[in-house]
Structure 1
């Protein structure tokens, strides 16, 4: 019976491919090609008759009758088209997941990705329902077609995949009817070998890495770990307990002197939104229409560097490297390569420096940054714009890490403007900014952190101890000689730690793995409250998820308790906002918070109520009211708006991910009861981050996903301005959900404008509470859980002490490791 059904579906599908039609079942509803052609022919004849009548000016009654007959035939063919579309969609739905690229049986896989060497050609099949090879009927595409080529040879009737460039890519094949299939391919290259005899080495296992090892292009935690190990010498040090201290241990001679500068007058402004929701600042006017002015006092910080700081190539680090870092990351050239940076955004003159219309000195590559002053070879000054004071985390406004000017831009120089004493760059070009993005970002061999970057190949990063590195901000120097971070199978990661194949796996949440770790004699857990949460994040600027009521409805269609039990096995709790259990604000406001938030839980009636308040309240004609009693799985009954557009939400999740699997199992079913067609697509983490972070830059034609499942961690310090403020909408990945809301902005600005005092701390917590209440109402993402994190550590690594804000890459410097 199953084979008969499969063959029947294949036959139906082949009929659709051949004739552009689809037929299913029998009896009165059957549509044939002959009938379709007959109606089209009659339609053409009626149109010709109508034209003839117009030409001969026949009686109006006859003309009207012919028009009516033509309209009836037009309606008939439109109805047939709709029926054909429905049948085609039904067939596609039945065959969903049945179009596959099929490699040879002995092909190698890594974490369910087909392994292909650079230069290797592999013969593959493209099978429909595991039976019919349709390689000659598919089109091919991938995110990076230069990495893997797909070819079909009509003579040999064979399809092949050919690896052309190292990397991870998802290849897609599509039939003319729209049915598609995909395969993840891991293209490997040759890597050098090293003799690590006698060296202390630590191996860390992670999911896929993006290989973005400088800031500006996303914040994958796996890339961030490498950044923390290879970059260093920030003027401000963050302790494991999340305290901010000036680094007088290794970087500064002494804590910077500060000075309040004389008051200056500036116009008052207020944040507004235009008709398209874009934020802008508008001057405040008095009753006569004149700008209202206010006094502000800027604040000067004076930094003196220790004189024995060096890059890992032996080059001296000077004040120019620190000022260059600021001028580079804030430059138009860096912004033009789509890099995001907030370094220096609170300093005097930042907006003018960023403005492409600001005049530049003769021969300069950038305008003058008046708030950045080069005072000597090892001394520089920074000025905080008084309009940005007070600020709860004031010292972070002037924290700087050096950048290797002699590598980034060998012809560049930091020059002092004689009029303002500010600084600007010469000899810095757009080509060098592009080089930093395209080359240095993936291969940052010159740096100044505790470890040197050796290579990133085949999803393995190799680091070696930097002999020029002094210490971190509390006097610790690295003891481990070699660190390797590599992509490993996520189903077996903890078991590899227990077996001694890997030394560290961070951020474990699955209950089965945690139990195995707790009972192991060869490994131990380090546990801490998560400073973040797992979520389904929405694109708040695209498609149906632009509407808060749609997002709230989906929130009522997720059984979040099931995620806690099925995925975390009880090692987690529900959260209802953008917070983690370890945050001090949550600890202080917990009871008030939980009493005022909407508790999203599985409730199809409330989901339908939310949607009935939107324009998604009709049947396909855009007129007939949606009837919730008709909705459900396999009913093919969905909501439409008044334009006749179906309410469809497209979700993207990563492969080999239990959370994606549970979403794919439950959400399409639950959402059907509310008339939402919820689709789930699997793919690589790189594809997810590209659409999640940079969807706002894509054309409407290439942007398809409205929801993503991933996890979020909170930075240190916690300032939601850099995650949720409207100033980033349409301009940066920082506000990843692209949510613009004036009330949220007001809460954020109240938080950050507090003094670092007990009173300021209380005001910050109160504003944070209001922020969470509003965020919970807007629901830019559905928080699935917060939980305890478990880092799995092999017994040979001693005393690894991680915290919510102090990951393994920070802690490893203080740990000891058996050889």
Structure 2
């Protein structure tokens, strides 16, 4: 059964997917109303933050909130959000080397989209919400916010809130001060009436968020679309600009038809196009405008490193040699694909030595293990890759301690726990052809690892990836998917062992479920961003961590790429980039 949620009046609702001039109607007093339909992969409907982390749900969140006390700019910096008047940094003790008290003053008269007042009481409520680890754990999530914050003090009369910080992480701005602020006037009484905690109330009402960003949700139809309209209480983005497009429809569109729907005018935009055929189709259409940029992320196969044969690094590496990434990139992306060997982006300054140019393949990147052995002509060398894969499997099969006792070899075949060695791989439909043509039965037989591929909707795969599915139904060892990196990158939140919950008991942001050098993650996390020495330490330790992940392979990077965002040429000033995704850019976009 599909779930439908309707918020507010829908008297002026427009048809989803209508094209051309039908997207312009006359509002009250003759004011022109416009609708932009953005194509998207399916959502989970988790539009409150804190649990799952789907990029498609995150886009809705950005439209509803736009930022926390700090908000991003199109250059990847963080500035005061439009409802914040000032920020003051002081020391709790003059002997301290850094300012450890951050005080924010909110503007008076601010409102949420539903008209409720937005004050420091709501900020305090939000941070208390995420500092209550027991209540969060009971709803299947966790947070590390308590590791940063000692206490919070509120001065309601002056509309100020002060954060007393225990430590200052390298990513202090993004890690602590970009939390979306919740409407306490709405949530608290409803939770009390229902006899539940605020955390339980939010978990049960994930699809009905109330924010203060450029748009508010009018209607959500599960697996179909989210319809939004302008929030009249929005104060503007970091430049004070407000949206002119009055309605947005974020519509779930199939990968197989998305380009046809865009070119025909059924939808108005698509973002993150990666395949050669799709990109060439929109670039060659005179009615389509495009933005392109080097992606701040990439695509990968993520292993569940605590489950089945994927627990052994030798098996993960042997699978990597079995997977011809060069062929896959050609099938999946064509000429727009770029090799990648760890969770990094060429937009990251830490990748480069002095004198190297951002966006190029620098010395550090070239030093990483490739897992694609090439012949003298630069082509994938099947025989050499087979030999290396089997060397790794033989090496593991020769061990008899612990988990290694489960991996055995009889003749030329490998077995895990008495059954044929196999990796169960979960994918979404967009990956099907390229995966199946890369991991053919012939390839599997030659390398010794069978691969059972199941294609499914993203929301179903996400439940398995994040560990929300029942433990009794667990079967997948690996998952395809893409990752986008934050403006400030601290791997702790996605890679620390503290971010792993027991499978079936909630969402784990450490999706690889990998336990590595925790001390190194801590060093990266607490580097001092205010000094040159601290920044150099951060860079060096971050590179050590990249080498660890490259060598232990909790995930197999498949590609990075040039992203193309495509949209109707009836819209101008829609300026997306690697650090400025479409929910932010749509605020300045307008119909001609």
TM-score over 0.5 for the pair: yes
> Which of the residues 324, 327, 339 maps onto 2:128?
327
Task: Show the 5 A alignment for 1:718-737.
Answer: 718-730=489-501, 732-737=507-512
| Match in the other structure for 1:217 | 51
Q: Distance in 1 between matches of 2:104 and 2:484?
A: 31
> Which of the residues 550, 558, 575 maps onto 1:784?
558
| Match in the other structure for 2:214 | 450
Question: Offset of 1:341 from its aligned partner?
Answer: 3.7
1:392–1:756 contact (8 Å) kept in structure 2: no
Q: Does 1:666 align with 2:442?
A: no
> Which of the residues 184, 187, 197 maps onto 1:408?
187
User: Larger relative contact order (C-alpha < 8 A, sep ≥ 6)?
Assistant: 2
| Match in the other structure for 1:4 | none
| Match in the other structure for 1:361 | none
Q: Report Cα offsets for 1:294-352 as digits up to 9, x if no partner.
A: x998811122111021012222111100000111122222331113444454111xxxx
CA distance 1:752–1:428, change in 2 (3 Å): farther
2:215–2:230 contact (8 Å) kept in structure 1: yes
Question: Offset of 1:390 from its aligned partner?
Answer: 5.6
Question: Offset of 1:783 from its aligned partner?
Answer: 0.8
Q: Distance in 2 between matches of 1:785 and 1:624?
A: 32
CA distance 1:232–1:535, change in 2 (3 Å): closer
Q: Runs of 5+ in structure 2 lacking a partner?
A: 5-9, 15-23, 27-32, 373-381
2:181–2:211 contact (8 Å) kept in structure 1: no
> Which of the residues 360, 366, 372 maps onto 2:152?
372
Q: Distance in 2 between matches of 1:624 and 1:225?
A: 46
Q: Does 1:430 align with 2:202?
A: no
Query: What's the TM-score, normalizing by structure 2?
Result: 0.85
Q: Report Cα offsets for 1:350-374 as digits up to 9, x if no partner.
A: xxxxxxxxxxxxxxxxxxxxx1111
Q: Distance in 1 between matches of 2:415 and 2:34?
A: 62
1:668–1:677 contact (8 Å) kept in structure 2: no
Question: Offset of 1:402 from its aligned partner?
Answer: 2.1
CA distance 1:205–1:398, change in 2 (3 Å): closer
| Match in the other structure for 1:255 | 87
> Which of the residues 70, 76, 80 maps onto 1:242?
76
Q: Report Cα offsets for 1:530-562 as digits up to 9, x if no partner.
A: 111111111011111011111011110111111
| Match in the other structure for 1:608 | 390
Q: Distance in 2 between matches of 1:616 and 1:668?
A: 28
| Match in the other structure for 1:162 | none
Instruction: Give the 3-state SS of the residue equivalent to 1:613 in structure 2.
Output: helix
2:52–2:466 contact (8 Å) kept in structure 1: yes
Q: Distance in 2 between matches of 1:402 and 1:433?
A: 14
Instruction: Give the 3-state SS of the residue equivalent to 1:410 in structure 2.
Output: helix
Instruction: Give the 3-state SS of the residue equivalent to 2:579 in structure 1.
Output: coil
1:543–1:706 contact (8 Å) kept in structure 2: yes
Question: Offset of 1:240 from its aligned partner?
Answer: 0.8
1:218–1:693 contact (8 Å) kept in structure 2: yes
| Match in the other structure for 2:29 | none
Question: Offset of 1:232 from its aligned partner?
Answer: 3.9
Q: Distance in 2 between matches of 1:746 and 1:320?
A: 37
> Which of the residues 146, 149, 164 maps onto 1:383?
164
Instruction: Give the 3-state SS of the residue equivalent to 1:200 in structure 2.
Output: strand
1:651–1:706 contact (8 Å) kept in structure 2: yes
> Which of the residues 25, 35, 53 maps onto 1:197?
25
Which of structures 1 and 2 has the bigger CA Rg? 1
Q: Distance in 1 between matches of 2:419 and 2:97?
A: 52
CA distance 1:539–1:167, change in 2 (3 Å): farther
Query: What's the TM-score, normalizing by structure 1?
Result: 0.63
1:726–1:745 contact (8 Å) kept in structure 2: no
Question: Offset of 1:735 from its aligned partner?
Answer: 0.6
Q: Distance in 2 between matches of 1:433 and 1:747?
A: 29
Instruction: Give the 3-state SS of the residue equivalent to 1:734 in structure 2.
Output: coil
Task: Show the 5 A alignment for 1:658-737.
Answer: 659-667=431-439, 669=441, 670-694=443-467, 698-699=470-471, 701-730=472-501, 732-737=507-512
Instruction: Give the 3-state SS of the residue equivalent to 1:253 in structure 2.
Output: strand
Q: Does 1:304 align with 2:77?
A: no
RMSD over aligned Cα atoms: 2.8
Question: Offset of 1:587 from its aligned partner?
Answer: 4.0
2:229–2:246 contact (8 Å) kept in structure 1: yes
Q: Report Cα offsets for 1:4-48 as digits up to 9, x if no partner.
A: xxxxxxxxxxxxxxxxxxxxxxxxxxxxxxxxxxxxxxxxxxxxx
Q: Distance in 2 between matches of 1:193 and 1:467?
A: 16
2:213–2:234 contact (8 Å) kept in structure 1: yes
Task: Show the 5 A alignment for 1:244-283.
Answer: 244-247=78-81, 250-261=82-93
> Which of the residues 370, 375, 378 maps onto 1:599?
370
1:326–1:344 contact (8 Å) kept in structure 2: no
Q: Distance in 2 between matches of 1:395 and 1:561?
A: 35
Task: Show the 5 A alignment for 1:616-627.
Answer: 625-627=409-411
Q: Distance in 2 between matches of 1:761 and 1:623?
A: 43
1:526–1:802 contact (8 Å) kept in structure 2: yes
Q: Does 1:585 align with 2:350?
A: yes
Q: Distance in 2 between matches of 1:496 and 1:343?
A: 43
Q: Report Cα offsets for 1:498-521 as digits up to 9, x if no partner.
A: 222211100000101111111111
CA distance 1:523–1:298, change in 2 (3 Å): closer
2:352–2:364 contact (8 Å) kept in structure 1: no
2:69–2:80 contact (8 Å) kept in structure 1: yes
1:392–1:754 contact (8 Å) kept in structure 2: no
| Match in the other structure for 2:253 | 488
